């Protein structure tokens, strides 16, 4: 029963995080186009835009922040391999439990701060201090979303490790053959 609930949660999180991560990857060519257009407008036409710098900053922030949970899912984040790979799989899982718990706490703090910043941005109509002056509230919504996605992804991986430590089996059988990861 518990394994079924854990699997259902983990699979739904994997689906949502994969969807968001892959979707946000389509912003990369748009970011490249915006930067290339600004370079062309500035150096060839001698008429720089007022919007390209701000838009490129926002696009990069969206790509990096919303892609973070997907990178975590793919285990693409930096790890201290010099220690991590020298210990047993059980000890690695214990390391994961501690680091995931700390990271989830940090994500919850980030969500709390982002909510406060969103309310402040809406209340005072905050804009970026530039000539174009775009609104800032969307940025804080994105930060809440990105931190939430990362938190649920970390929780899914935390549950997988808890299940494996308690039961001695993988939550997903196909990962047993891929035990090199842990």
Instruction: Supply the pLDDT for residue 182.
Output: 44
Where the chain has pLDDT below 50, the residues are 180-182
Instruction: Please state, in angstroms and rounded to a whole number, the distance separating the CA atoms of residues 75 and 95.
Output: 14
Query: Which pair of structure tokens corresponds to residue 84?
Result: 């991590």
Instruction: Supply the pLDDT for residue 81.
Output: 80
Instruction: Please state, in angstroms and rounded to a whole number, the distance separating the CA atoms of residues 4 and 6.
Output: 5
pLDDT in tens, 131-158: 999 999 999 999 999 999 999 999 999 9
Instruction: Supply the pLDDT for residue 141.
Output: 97
pLDDT in tens, 61-86: 999 999 999 999 998 887 778 888 88
Instruction: Supply the pLDDT for residue 179.
Output: 52
Query: Closest by alpha carbon to 73, among 9, 14, 12, 147?
Result: 14
The model's pTM is 0.89
Instruction: Supply the pLDDT for residue 91.
Output: 93
Instruction: Supply the pLDDT for residue 175.
Output: 61
Instruction: Supply the pLDDT for residue 77.
Output: 80
Give the number of other CB atoms < 10 A from CB of residue 53.
Answer: 17
């Amino acid at each position: 029963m518990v394994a079924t609930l854990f699997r259902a949660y983990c699979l739904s999180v994997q689906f949502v995080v994969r969807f968001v991560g892959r979707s946000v990857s389509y912003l990369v060519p748009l970011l490249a186009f915006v930067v290339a257009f600004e370079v062309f407008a500035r150096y060839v036409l001698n008429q720089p835009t007022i919007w390209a710098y701000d838009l490129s900053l926002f696009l990069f922030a969206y790509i990096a922040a919303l892609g973070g949970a997907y990178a975590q899912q793919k285990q693409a984040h930096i790890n201290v391999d010099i220690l991590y790979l020298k210990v047993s799989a059980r000890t690695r899982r214990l390391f994961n439990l501690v680091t995931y718990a700390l990271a989830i706490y940090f994500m919850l703090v980030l969500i709390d701060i982002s909510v406060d910043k969103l309310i402040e941005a809406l209340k005072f109509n905050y804009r970026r201090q530039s000539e174009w002056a775009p609104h800032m509230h969307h940025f804080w919504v994105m930060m809440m979303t990105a931190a939430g996605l990362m938190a649920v992804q970390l929780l899914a991986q935390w549950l997988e490790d808890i299940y494996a430590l308690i039961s001695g089996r993988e939550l997903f059988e196909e990962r047993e053959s891929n035990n090199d990861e842990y």
